[in-house]
């Protein structure tokens, strides 16, 4: 027997689905549906409320513009300007509202023309709030989150940088609020991919799963001799978002981080073997929190040993020159060195040592 709560949830989901479909309709079709429901619910008679009167007037304005466009034999999809419209309604003498009345009802002539062309019109802040309150939330898969990028690329933008996309998202979401496009700041933590990877997936050069797999291989290859990885690898191994990783690594039974570069999540490091064993449900060794830190040197320590400015060492690390000790790995964008490697390098290059090891 179906429980009353299950019935209530099913009804709510059905209502939200209907409202989502209604909100996605062009404005002209929304007015048609409203008229049908008004008649069905028995509100066609009696004295109309102010709201119902305004809605009917807006619907009337849409049909008036379409009537004039047909009278002027304008091409499909083209609507008359204000002067042509006013001139035409005088010729038709059919009691159609003038342009001032249309603008008063719709806020702008362009909005009324968009509605007449069955295009989406801009939502008011009140409408946006009402949609969020009544139509529920639709959780998109990471793949569906990329639909906004696909729509943007289909318009063949001159430049495909992140700022260009973000600017387009702002414009698009103001004009197509029923199907909002996700910003890059939203896409990155959900897909666990950088911008270049996201573009390749959106262009159908590879699937999201393929991109994530290649990115995981790339990160594992760069995990250094110790195989130290950060939150990004954990997210890809477990197939979760950035946000979920924060809870995952704090769960009981998750491997202990063996390297802490700074006191926050992105600069914690785990052995890749431990992470993969945990995901597979296999045992892994007992570790000591931050046990590798004594074996690791950071840029500041290297700069003191070499007698170089910190910025000089950091820039040199990016170019990976022979003038530095071999880099042990990189964690969340921070390079680190293994003390044993630095000791060996220092013995081979005594002329480069200007400080002391701590």
pTM, 2 dp: 0.58
272-322: per-residue pLDDT in tens? 999 999 988 899 999 999 999 999 988 888 888 888 787 887 777 777 666
Q: How far apart are CA 289 and CA 324, in angstroms?
A: 29
Cα dist from 269 to 94, 228, 234, whole Å: 76, 6, 10
- Give the least confident one: 54-58, 74-78, 254-258: 54-58
Name the CA radius of gyration of the chain, rounded.
31
User: Can you tell me the mean pLDDT for 218-246?
Assistant: 88
Question: Residue 10: which pLDDT band, with cuts at 50, 70 and 90?
Answer: low
User: Does residue 227 or residue 6 have the better pLDDT?
Assistant: 227
129-155: per-residue pLDDT in tens? 666 666 555 556 777 788 889 999 999
pLDDT of 164 higher than 90: yes
Question: Residue 357: which pLDDT band, with cuts at 50, 70 and 90?
Answer: very low
pLDDT at 169: 92
Q: Which CATH class is domain 294-352?
A: mainly alpha
Cα dist from 59 to 65, 112, 175, 260, 322, whole Å: 10, 10, 20, 64, 74
User: Can you tell me the mean pLDDT for 81-92?
Assistant: 92
Task: Spell out the alpha helix ranges (H) of the chain.
Answer: 4-24, 27-40, 50-71, 82-92, 99-106, 109-116, 125-134, 142-145, 147-154, 162-175, 184-191, 195-202, 208-221, 231-238, 242-248, 272-280, 299-306, 310-319, 339-348
User: Does residue 313 or residue 80 have the better pLDDT?
Assistant: 80
pLDDT at 3: 46
Question: Residue 331: which pLDDT band, with cuts at 50, 70 and 90?
Answer: confident
CA atoms 76, 82, 87, 92: torsion sign: positive
pLDDT at 20: 65
pLDDT at 285: 93
Count of CA atoms in the C-beta half-sphere (13 A) of 20: 12
pLDDT at 23: 66
Average pLDDT, the chain: 82
The CATH topology of domain 222-291 is Multidrug-efflux Transporter Regulator; Chain: A; Domain 2 (1.10.1660)
User: Can you tell me the mean pLDDT for 191-199?
Assistant: 94
Return the SS3 of 337. strand
99-130: per-residue pLDDT in tens? 999 998 888 898 889 888 877 676 666 666 66
Domains of the chain, by residue range, sit at 27-119, 139-208, 222-291, 294-352
User: Does residue 232 or residue 316 have the better pLDDT?
Assistant: 232
249-286: per-residue pLDDT in tens? 888 889 999 998 875 545 889 999 999 999 888 999 99
């Amino acid at each position: 027997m179906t429980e009353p709560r299950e019935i209530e949830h099913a009804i709510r989901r059905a209502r939200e689905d209907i409202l989502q479909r209604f909100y996605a309709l062009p404005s002209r079709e929304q007015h048609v549906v409203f008229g049908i429901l008004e008649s069905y619910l028995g509100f066609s008679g009696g004295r109309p409320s102010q709201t119902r009167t305004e809605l009917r007037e807006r619907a009337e304005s849409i049909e008036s513009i379409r009537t004039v466009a047909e009278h002027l034999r304008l091409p499909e999809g083209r609507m008359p300007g204000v002067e042509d419209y006013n001139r035409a309604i005088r010729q038709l003498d059919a009691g159609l509202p003038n342009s001032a009345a249309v603008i008063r009802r719709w806020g702008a002539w362009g909005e009324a023309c968009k509605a007449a062309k069955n295009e989406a019109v801009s939502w008011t802040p009140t409408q946006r709030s009402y949609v969020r309150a009544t139509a529920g939330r639709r959780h998109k898969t990471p793949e569906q989150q990329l639909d906004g990028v696909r729509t943007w690329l289909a318009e063949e933008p001159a430049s495909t940088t992140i700022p260009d996309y973000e600017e387009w998202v702002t414009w698009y979401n103001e004009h197509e609020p029923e199907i909002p496009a996700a910003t890059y700041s939203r896409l990155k933590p959900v897909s666990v991919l950088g911008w270049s990877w996201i573009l390749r997936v959106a262009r159908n050069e590879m699937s999201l799963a393929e991109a994530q797999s290649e990115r995981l291989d790339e990160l594992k290859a760069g995990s250094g001799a110790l195989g130290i990885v950060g939150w990004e690898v954990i997210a890809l191994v477990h197939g979760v978002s950035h946000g979920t990783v924060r809870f995952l690594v704090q769960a009981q039974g998750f491997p202990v981080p063996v390297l802490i570069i700074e006191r926050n999540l992105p600069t914690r490091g785990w052995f890749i073997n431990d992470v993969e064993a945990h995901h597979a449900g296999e045992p892994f060794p007992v570790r000591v929190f931050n046990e590798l830190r004594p074996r690791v040197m950071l840029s500041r320590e290297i700069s003191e040993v070499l007698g170089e400015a910190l910025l000089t060492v950091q820039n040199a690390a990016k170019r990976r020159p022979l003038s530095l000790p071999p880099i042990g790995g990189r964690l969340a964008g921070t390079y680190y060195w293994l003390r044993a490697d630095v000791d060996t390098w220092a013995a081979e290059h005594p002329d480069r040592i200007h400080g002391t090891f701590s």
